[in-house]
Amino acid sequence: MRSTSNPDQPVIRIRDVTKIYEMGAGTIQVRALDGVSIDIHDGEYVAIMGASGSGKSTLMNIIGCLDVPSEGTYHIDGQAVEAMSNDRLADIRSRKVGFVFQTHNLLPRLTALANVELPMMYGHWPNRRDRAENALTLVGLGDRTHHRPTELSGGQQQRVGIARALVKEPSVLLADEPTGNLDTSNTAEILNIISDLNHENGITVIVVTHERDVAARADRVITLSDGQVISDEIRDSPARGGNPKDKGRPHRRIPISHRTASPLPFGGRGLG
């Protein structure tokens, strides 16, 4: 599912994207994004910041193919999203991106395992149960697979949400304020998992946050204001721990060894 073509080609290529919401039968127009251009490469960890209403969620919805630009172009893995049929868009959305939201939207009557299996109900996904178990193990919940959401802490529920986002091995993980509802210790736990997924499994991570300590985990911070990019900074980040020379190079694809029993987390194919 990962980009197999030119390694210099960005996973996400956004050019002059504008998003206008029409309201009141077109009498009111809200310019939620206004000429945004961003490239994001395989393996990057990007934080998107900005005040409420600055366009962060709109940008994430476009990146995740939940919505399309009003103007401008968007390529994911080199493929032009504007040109895609709705079926193709749904397919891309399902295979290339995993979403983590502020509220995890788990189904309360289902176990953690069944919640994680849910995205694989459509399409041909062999070994669904094994994949779901491995995804839960990857986020440290291998011993909670039969718990229902109410039987889990807030941080554990969010970890189930991350496992659900990962189960189809997306190349990009999109998280919109993933720790917005969590206390400090649960926030740290979720951020550690997301960092591990980026560093050790090479998943491209894009996280929307208004919290500095969340953004501090990223190696790049993009700030929006009134639908425009007002800054785009590569962080000089000791917190990240990586060698700066490694930037842009493919990450090692090794499992999160201290979290998984199995050396290959996803049915022998590895993550990503």
Ligand X SMILES: Nc1ncnc2c1ncn2[C@@H]1O[C@H](COP(=O)(O)OP(=O)(O)O)[C@@H](O)[C@H]1O
- Which among 35-43, 51-59, 132-140, 196-204 is the span making contact with ligand X, rule CB under 6 A? 51-59
CB of 28 or CB of 83, closer to ligand X: 28
Start-to-end C-alpha separation, the chain: 6
Q: Is 134 in the site for Mg ion (CB under 5 A)?
A: no
- Which among 55-63, 192-200, 214-222, 253-261 is the span making contact with ligand X, rule CB under 6 A? 55-63
Q: Which one of Mg ion, ligand X, none is in contact with 50 (Cβ closer than 5 to 8 A by kind)? A: ligand X
- Which among 26-34, 57-65, 90-98, 189-197 is the span making contact with Mg ion, rule CB under 5 A? 57-65
Other CB atoms within 10 Å distance of the CB of residue 119? 19
Please tell me the count of residues contacting Mg ion according to CB under 5 A. 2
CB of 56 or CB of 220, closer to Mg ion: 56
Q: Name 34's bridge partners.
A: 18
Q: Which residue has tokens 């993550």?
A: 271
- Rounded to 5 degrees, what are φ and ψ at 35? 75, 50
- Rounded to 5 degrees, what are φ and ψ at 70? -75, -40
Q: How far is the CB of 216 from ligand X (least distance, A)?
A: 19
Q: Which one of ligand X, Mg ion, none is in contact with 32 (Cβ closer than 5 to 8 A by kind)? A: ligand X
Q: How far is the CB of 12 from ligand X (least distance, A)?
A: 17
Q: Which of 57, 134, 157, 209 binds Mg ion (CB under 5 A)?
A: 57
Q: Which of 8, 23, 87, 143 binds ligand X (CB under 6 A)?
A: 23
Q: Over the range 242-261, which residues count as b (16 or more CB within 10 Å of their CB) and which as e?
A: beeeeeeeebeeebbeebbe
- Rounded to 5 degrees, what are φ and ψ at 53? 85, 5
Beta strands in the chain (DSSP E): 12-23, 28-40, 45-49, 71-76, 79-80, 97-100, 172-176, 204-208, 220-225, 228-234
Contact predicate 38/232, CB 8 Å: yes
Q: How far is the CB of 60 from Mg ion (least distance, A)?
A: 8
Interface residues with Mg ion (CB under 5 A) are: 56-57
Interface residues with ligand X (CB under 6 A) are: 21, 23, 30, 32, 50, 52-58
